[in-house]
Amino acid sequence: METIVGMTAIAIGIMIGLAAVGAAIGIGLLGGRFLEGTARQPEMANTLQGKMFLMAGLIDAIPIIGVGIALYLLFASGLVDPVALKELLG
Amino acid sequence: MAANGEALTSGGYIKHHLTNLTFGQHSDGSWGIAHSAKEAAEMGFWSFHVDSMFWSIGLAFIMFFVFRKIAKGFSIENPSKIQLFVETLFEFADTSAKEGFQFKNLWIAPLALTIFCWVFLMNLMDLIPVDWIPELFIFLGVDYMKIVPSTDINIALGLALAIFIMIVYYSLKEKSPIGFFKELAMHPFSAKEFGVSNTGVQLVINLFILYPLNLVLETVSLLAKPVSLGLRLFGNMYAGELIFILIALMFSQLFTMTASGFMMGVAGGALQLVWAIFHILVITLQAYIFMMLTIVYLNQAHEHGDH
């Protein structure tokens, strides 16, 4: 019973950590490319910015889904607090 | 905060703010409102999240009537401010639809406008301070009230399912069922590209190895579209709402009637404000992305294959 709680806690940590790393690298690269693009052609700054926000949303889509599932596991699934887990296991 | 005897622990506070007001069949067969999350879970499939439905359908009606009133009282000579705002929204959705969608279909631009405004309105509910409305409803005797419909996975996936039905419908209609199946089966691999020259051998390889593989790959990517569309909206809003709850939780325990306690309360409020301001960007961005992807997916559905 304790292993389930322990394993779930570790899983949540890994999920949120990897999601953060993925999203950070993705958006870091995106931001860099965006600045290069505007430096090369300042008049394109506006359209590029629109596209950048669209891509930023798409990039952290999958990580945020991971974070959403991790938070579900943490709060709503009852796998983390021993009392609810006892009920779940019956 | 204790809705019905739940101890006011941090877990209880979080659990309270995350459970929906569900209407369904109790274990003893009578229909009614679930009084606890466990009871709601026992209601099984036929249980309705009354609060999500109420807020989402209510917002849809508000949006519908505002647009209808503006459309009715449309005047070019002295346009009212609301009319100008609705016009900018209209043009925004219209241009995005025109850019992303190259075929003739009268449904797409209004669909884009509806999706953008409705999802944005549903997300906007997240900016209302997290305790106000649930507290008010507890005062009125209603145990649970989750006011942000898009943090309810059923609403997010329901929207995505509707879009998926439209994708499949237009694919079958525009590409004809055979064309649609051909597109699923023939992409992305075909023996010709692998340099197999003899047509007989090509046919065998295609039919027995490549086409089933293509089918699996293509159907997975087809199903991934609505799932990622819905889960993206749900994930962003669920995480956003949860962070509001956690900030409230973190600072409310430190809030005592002393000077330092009061300072903690102010600090908590400031952090909530900072997160709310950032969340404004997330709200509009998620609505915009939901709209843009719907347009792009429907555009793909309309494309006639080159076969």
Residues in chain A within 8 Å Cβ distance of B238? 68, 71-72
Positive or negative, the CA dihedral B246, B248, B249, B255 is positive
The alpha carbon of residue A19 is apart from the nearest alpha carbon of chain B, in Å, by: 12
Closest Cβ–Cβ partner in A65, A76, A81 for B18 = A76
Chain B residues within 8 A of A56 when measuring between CB atoms: 285
Considering only CB atoms, which chain B residues are within 8 Å of A85? none
Residues on chain B touching A58 (C-beta within 8 angstroms):
289
Q: How far is B231 from chain A (nearest CA, A)?
A: 6
State chain B's mean pLDDT as an integer. Answer: 85
Q: What pLDDT digit, counting tens, does each position of B80-100 carry?
A: 888 899 999 999 999 989 888
CB contact under 8 A, B285 and A53: yes
In the prediction, which pLDDT does B179 show?
86
Closest CA to B16 of B40, B50, B42, B43: B40
pLDDT at position A22 is: 93
A61, A71, A81: residue with CB nearest B238: A71
* B234-258 average pLDDT score: 83
pLDDT at residue B7 is higher than 80: no
Are B238 and A68 a contacting pair at CB < 8 A? yes
CB contact under 8 A, B15 and A76: yes
B33 pairs with which residues across the strands? B23
Residue B186 or B275, more confident: B275
Asked if the ipTM is above 0.95, the reply is no
Q: How far apart are CA B280 and CA B252, in angstroms?
A: 24
pLDDT confidence of residue B34: 80
pLDDT of residue B131: 83
Give the residue from B265, B264, B271 showing the smallest Cα distance to B247: B271
Over residues B98-130, the pLDDT tens digits come to 888 888 888 899 999 999 999 999 999 998 888
Predicted pLDDT at B1:
47
Whether the predicted pLDDT of B206 surpasses 70: yes
Tokens 């990897």, residue? Answer: A18
Nearest-by-Cβ selection for B234 from A54, A68, A87:
A68
The number of angstroms, rounded, from the C-alpha of B282 to the middle of its chain's C-alpha atoms is 13
Does B244 contact chain A (CB < 8 Å)?
no
**Residues in chain A closer than 8 A to B7 (CB atoms):** none
What pLDDT score was predicted for residue B305?
64
Question: Would the pLDDT of B5 be above 60?
Answer: no
Which of B226, B254, B264, B272 shows the shortest CA–CA distance to B132? B272
A84 to chain B, minimum CA–CA distance in Å? 10
Q: Which of B71-75, B84-88, B186-190, B283-287 has the lowest mean pLDDT?
A: B186-190
Question: Are the beta carbons of B15 and A75 closer than 8 angstroms?
Answer: yes
**pLDDT tens digits for B25-64?**
887 878 888 887 777 777 878 888 888 889 999 999 999 9
Q: How far is A28 from chain B (nearest CA, A)?
A: 17
pLDDT in tens, A21-69: 999 999 999 999 999 999 999 998 888 888 888 888 888 888 888 888 8
CB contact under 8 A, B236 and A81: no
Res. B3: pLDDT tops 60: no
Confidence check: pLDDT of B263 > 90: no
B236 is catalytic: yes
Does the pTM exceed 0.90?
no
- H-state helical runs in chain B: 10-18, 37-42, 50-72, 81-100, 108-124, 132-139, 153-186, 199-205, 211-252, 259-302
A60 counts as catalytic: yes
Q: Say yes or no for a CB contact (<8 Å) between B235 and A56.
A: no
pLDDT of B76 > 90? The answer is no
Distance CA B291, CA A57 (A): 12
Torsion of CA B300, B303, B306, B307, to 10 degrees: 90
